[in-house]
Amino acid sequence: MNSRVIYVLLVEDDIDYSALLRRRLMGTLNKDSDLTFVVAQTGLLHEAVRYTAEHTVDVIVLDLNLPDAAGLATLERIRTAAPDAATIVLTGRNDQQMASQAVKMGAQDYLFKGDFNTELLIRAIRYAIDRKESERALSQVEAQLRQVNGNTTVSDQASKRDAANASEQIANDFDTLLARMAAQNSLALSELPNDNPARVHVEKLNQTINLASALTRRLFQGMRGSNQHS
């Protein structure tokens, strides 16, 4: 089985707890997983910010209360420094209001240390990565569609047909991508507990996927009509 390498930055000032997380992610407890974790660790936010500027980071596991930062401001700073990395908040405070606010600010999940287990953390990492990849793929397709639509406004008739054909292919690819996103999102929703604050955002993402799928079908129909009259 091919193993995918995931680069994790653990931002946690409790040395013993950090060591536990590292062992569980990198050790034998993960031997049957299709993920291989490379874990870096720091106990200070400013060191974490510097690390993200110099290294590849897929997932940041972040304690909100550090010696040089506290509360949601910690999350805001790391999200600004590393907007492309998925972020999982890991905290000793079982505060649902703060959890909901953290997710609204861009965290993919919020885990309470008292409920921690390796399986839960790995599942949260999977979900966080899938959501980030879906967001990036959606942005890329939107950029391609804007580029193609821009080309059609300055092209001659033959180029318009070519651009329409290209747009139709992109629409097909996008529809396939949306189907994959819907499947991944449904899986994530089925694994999230009912009281997890991330559920409301996963449910909203489902609504967005359905809307995007409907818009893609309309776009596809319009492109086919344009091709027939060209």
Residue with more model confidence, 127 or 138 = 127
Say what the pLDDT of residue 220 is.
62
List, in order, residues 6 or more apart from 28 with CB less than 8 Å away.
none
Q: Is the pLDDT of residue 224 over 70?
A: no
Query: For 168-209, how does the pLDDT look when each residue is reduced to its tens digit (9 = 90+)?
Result: 666 677 777 777 777 777 777 777 777 776 777 777 777 777
Q: What pLDDT score was predicted for residue 122? A: 82
**pLDDT given at position 25:** 82
Structure confidence at residue 222 (pLDDT): 58
For residue 51, the model assigns a pLDDT of 97
pLDDT value at 18 more than 50 = yes
Range from 50-59, 151-160, 163-172 carrying the lowest mean pLDDT = 151-160
The structure's pTM equals 0.65
Report the chain's mean pLDDT, rounded to a whole number: 77
